[in-house]
Each structure stands twice: as C-alpha cells, then as structure tokens.
Amino acid sequence: MYINGTSREQLYLFENKLDDIIPEDNPVRFIDAYVDKLNLLDLGFINPGTDGGKGRPPYNPAVMLKIYIYGYLNRIRSSRKLESECRRNTELIWLTCKLAPDFKTIADFRKDNGEGVKRIFREFLKLCSKLNLLSFRCVAVDGTKERAQNHLDNIYHKENIDQISSKIQERIEKYLEELELNDRAEEADYEFLSKNLKEKLSRLKKKENKIDIINQMFAENPELKTYFAGDSDSRYMKDNNRINAGYNCQTAVDDKNNLIIAQDVTNESNDMHQINKMMNKITDIKEELEIENQTIVVADAGYFDEREIVEAVKDERFDIYISHPRDSQTQKNKVKKKKVKIPDKGFLKDNFAYDKENDVFICPAGKILHKEGGSSIDTRTGNCHFRYSCRSCGECEHRSLCTNNKSGRTIKVTEFFCKINEFREKCNSDLGKKLLAKRKEIVEHPFGTIKHSWGYRYFMQKGKDKVSAEFSFIAFVYNLKRVMNIVKFDELMAAI
C-alpha cells in the first residue's frame, strides 16, 4: 500500500478560492502588501496608459513590479522564465491574480522603468529605519566585479582591427570558392560538408559590415583604443585572477543587520576613487532618514588613495579607517612571493623615521636623508612628490642591505605624507585594527548572498544606466530578503 493522491478525474462541486492556495504567513503576501502601499508614479514608474482608449488595457505597473521582485528573490531573472512561472507557479499565480504577461511585456517593464527601479531601493530603507534595523554607527564599504553582457570575443582593439578585417575577407573568399565548386559539381555525395554555406556567408558579411563600422569609429576618435561591442560602457575587470568585461559594483553596508544602505556602479577597474562618492551617497541617505550621528567608515587597502583620503577626513560627519597597502595582510603576502633582496628587512621605507621639525628622514643606521631639489608631478596620479637622499651611504656597512643605487639611498614621498602618516597611525591603533578586522564580517555578507547563494555574477542589462538600475534592484531585493529573515511576519505587515 502507498499514499495515493487525488484522482485527476475527481469532480468538485465548489472551487477553492484563489486566496486559499497561499498560507497566511507566506512572504508573497508581504510583497503584495508592500507594493500596493507604494505610490509607483511618484517613484518614477511609467504608467503605460492606453492608446486613446482603444485596444487592450495595459498591465498595472504594480503587478509587473511584483513579478520582478518575486523573480529576483527566487533567482529567476529571465523574462521568458518569468512568463513561464506566471502560468505554473502557484505563488506567482496568487501574486498576479492569474495574470500572465508575455515575456516582451515583462522585459519592456524592466527596460522602461530604470528610474523607478533605482528609487525603490531608497524607499525600502525608510521601512528599514522605521523598524529600527539601521544604526549608521559603523558602515563598511567594498566593491565587487560583475560581468557585463559582453563576451571577450566581442572586444576589438585598434591595433589589430585591420587583421580581423583581413581574416574575415579571406573566409568570405573561401566560402565563395566553395559555392562555385558546388555549382559545378555533378555529384552530391559530399553535400553535407558544405551544408549551410550560404547562411555562414551571410553571417560573415554582417560581421564584415560591423567591423567596417568599428574601424570607422576608431578613425573618427583617435583616443579610442578598445571598443566593447556588446556593452560599450563596460570595461576590463579583474576578478579572482580572471579578466572579463564588466562593472565595479560598490556597496556600503550597515553593521547592525548587514543591510546595504548605499550602492553604486562604476566602470573604473579599481576602488581608489570611490570612497568619497560612497560617503556622499551615505550622507544623502542619512539626510533623507533624518539621522545625524557620526558614522565610522571602514574600507580595505583597495580604497587607499592619498588625495581621496585627505579629502575624506575633512568631513567631520565621518570617522574614516582604511588599510594602508603596506599594512594589509594581502599585500604582505604578495611581497613575500617576490624575490627582493634590496632593501632587506629592517631597511624598508617604513623603517625610516621622519623628523617633522627638521624635515629629514633618519635611516635605521642613523644616517640622515635630506630633501633634494624641488617637487615633481606624478603624471599618473597628479600628486606632487618630494625626494629625500642620503649623502653618506658610501662607507655604511649596511649599504648592501639598503640599496644598490650608486648615488645612495633615496626615498620619495607625496605632498600628503604627514597627513597620511597620522591617518595610518590612527588605523594601526588598537581601535583601528579592531574596526578593520570587523570590516569583512560586515561587508562580505551581501556579496556572499548575491554572488554565491543567488548566482548573480553577471548583469542581464546593457549600458551603465540600465546596469546601475539592475544592481540597485538587486540590492533592494537583498535587503528585502534580509528583513524578511530578521523580522517576524506579523511585525512586517503591521509596519506597512
């Protein structure tokens, strides 16, 4: 004997209500209630309207938004898959009241409502603040790389575009010769070898036209060296020793419940110029939520840029802690792998003491390094540099451990050296070390959920504006999921 299900031929006198298929505490009920409370037009969502009252009425934007929230929460981002789920998934059937928009309607809603999708992230933070889930006491900032809709084969470099064009032309000529031979051949025994030649030739000619357009772009814009044909706003990004076309996604995470309070998307390959941008976004959120306490901001060595830090510490609303690259354990491990004999341990730059009163450096052996010449400008960073040299290295017994420069040991520092030195001492204090150690614990939680648990390692959209809207929505959905895990269902429903 086995447990048997209901017969498919069983007749029912009364049909169950649609509301009966979903339990009272199912999370989709909160999604439904929350979206219904929003004023979507004020948030920037477009009301599709009707064509002068003719034709079929449009779908309510609230229904479309519910579909996307449910989809992203359940790792379904494809518009075609969402269309399918609307027809078979009981939770979506309940959520949409049995409506099933086609995939193009679903895709167009995401494409046309970028502004509204961005604003819903900040709107949900108001509910988080109302539930006392945010403290703004300590915020960790970090970035991660996400792939763009641009394969590496679809990236073109100015120096080899002519070579690509020549190869395409050679293949076109080869296919034309094969077609001519086939026309002359009387036997068709080997027709399968030349199958789809016309289709292949058509695709090659389209690619030839595409290459001609890109070549023209290179000619019209001498500064353009690399063109990303799939997503022109994407750039090369290095992530886990892999190079892909993608974007650099920034988040600021509150320490109280690991909720994302600010986010951004940039196509800069590193984080060096992002700390002040993220602080401005945090400030905007605090002003909107009427929060006035000082906020501690912690970040890893990837954000260490002297000019950025000097600018950041001026803002008294924040207390900044950023690891120095030479203090970072990751950087130390990289240095260990390098076979560097000079300078040896004990004669590294950090071992030279700076005498601020006399404006000189003192080496571990007691020698003096004086400032020489004027300043020089670093063309890469724009920072002003000063050079300090030792004039008495010739007879020093430690020279072989210190330098192999015939002129003696030199040290180069920037115009911000004194301020950065004080900042570095603060970060290396007991409090600073504890805060920086806490950073990973705070900021890695969202990335672990988004990239590893949900598998969102690439964007569905193309172009920086649309990618920014998509990442904002992913951050909102992460916060939504986090809040539903933290707060009891009844409290959530009562809060809205």
Helix (H) or strand (E) holding 79: helix 79-88
**Predicted local confidence at residue 173, as pLDDT:** 81
Q: Work out whether strand 295-299 and strand 138-147 pair parallel, antiparallel, or are unpaired.
A: parallel
Q: What is the pLDDT of residue 187?
A: 47
Q: What is the pLDDT of residue 331?
A: 54
pTM of the full structure: 0.87
In this prediction, residue 273 has a pLDDT band, given cuts at 50, 70 and 90, of very high
Q: Could you read off the pLDDT of 88-107 as tens digits, one per residue?
A: 999 999 999 999 999 999 99
With beta carbons less than 8 A apart as the criterion, state whether 252 and 136 touch.
no
Specify the range with the lowest mean pLDDT, choosing from 183-192, 301-310, 393-402, 470-479: 183-192
Instruction: Provide the β-strand partners of residue 322.
Output: 299
Mean pLDDT across 125-144: 95
The answer to whether the CB of 168 falls within 8 A of the CB of 208 is yes
Here the tokens at position 343 are 């300078």
* Helix, strand, coil tally for the chain in percent (to 5): 50, 15, 35
The letter for the amino acid at 113 is N
Nearest to 148 by CA among 463, 447, 472, 459: 459
Question: pLDDT higher for 198 or 307?
Answer: 307
Which has more pLDDT, 474 or 210?
Answer: 474
Which pLDDT belongs to residue 362? 92
What the block records as the tokens of 147 is 């792939």
Q: Of 65-69, 335-339, 393-397, give the range with the top mean pLDDT.
A: 65-69
The 10s digit of each residue's pLDDT in 103-127 is: 999 999 999 999 999 999 999 999 9
In this structure, of 114-118, 168-172, 261-265, 291-295, the range with the lowest mean pLDDT score is 168-172
The two tokens of residue 228 are: 């990303």
Matching residue, tokens 């029912």? 12
Lowest mean pLDDT among 268-272, 332-336, 470-474: 332-336
Give the whole-number percent of the chain exceeding pLDDT 70.
Answer: 92
Query: Token digits for 185?
Result: 């051949």
Q: What is the pLDDT of residues 304-326, one digit of tens each?
A: 999 999 999 999 999 999 999 88
**Between 326 and 342, residue with greater pLDDT:** 326
What the block records as the tokens of 140 is 């960790």
